[in-house]
Amino acid sequence: MILAAMMLDGGCIGQVCAYAILAFWGGVFVLRVRRRGNLTKLDLMLIRGGYIVVCVISYFVTRWIWHLRGFEHYL
């Protein structure tokens, strides 16, 4: 988030990373609640390396949503 905030693009990458961090921690919360704290090795691996994947996916989803809203020239 700190590196994304330092980008001089008007906050676009920061917004994408903010959406990604909310989605990532929402997913971690769902995993912990559904497994009742007994996380598997796959769950732990996804938690460790999943944020980068979520950032990449969030970039494309955010651009698509902004395009649908008619704000494609902002992002």
Residue whose C-alpha is closest to residue 18's, from 38, 3, 8:
3
Q: Average pLDDT of 63-69?
A: 85
- Per-residue 3-state assignment (H helix, E strand, C coil) for 20-57: HHHHHHHHHHHHHHHHCCCCCHHHHHHHHHHHHHHHHH
**What's the pLDDT score for residue 75?**
56
Check residues 18 and 73 and name the one with the higher pLDDT. Answer: 18
> 26-41, pLDDT tens digit by residue?
989 998 899 887 888 9
**pTM score, two decimals?**
0.73
Residue ranges of domains in the chain: 7-69
